Amino acid sequence: MVLATRVAYATSQLPGMAWYGGHLYVMRLLAGQVRQREGDSARPKPRSDPRLDQRLNADMAALLEQDLANVEAGICSRRS
């Protein structure tokens, strides 16, 4: 039963993660095109702090773990 719940949870989360991942990809492509059109010197490319990226990924993983724990405990909200 636990495996089935986890598979169902992962399956339900996948479309949303793909949606946001796709938006990130497209926005990076568009930003690159704008930088090329305006010239690289027009505005410096923003640099990401690897520590911040690691923290955001860890926080997102913790959120998904807590959400899954809630689903397994029978505490889940219905999206309308």
Number of structural domains (the chain) is: 1
pTM equals 0.64
Compute the distance between CA of residue 34 and CA of residue 29 in angstroms, rounded to an integer.
9
Indicate whether 80 belongs to any domain: no
Cα 77 to Cα 80: distance, rounded to the nearest angstrom: 9
Residue 44 lies in a domain: yes
What does the mean pLDDT of the chain come to?
Answer: 86
In a domain, 78, yes or no: no
The verdict on residue 59 lying in a domain is yes
Q: Is residue 77 part of a domain?
A: no
Can you read off the two tokens belonging to residue 74? 């029978």
| CB-CB contact of 72 with 2 (8 Å) | yes
Residue with the two structure tokens 């690691």: 54
- Range of the structural domain that residue 62 is part of: 2-72
**pLDDT > 70 fraction of the chain, expressed in percent and rounded:** 85
Question: In terms of pLDDT, which residue wins out, 46 or 7?
Answer: 7
- Asked if pLDDT for residue 31 goes beyond 70, the answer is yes
pLDDT digits (tens, 9 = 90+) for 42-80: 566 667 788 998 999 999 999 999 999 998 888 875 554
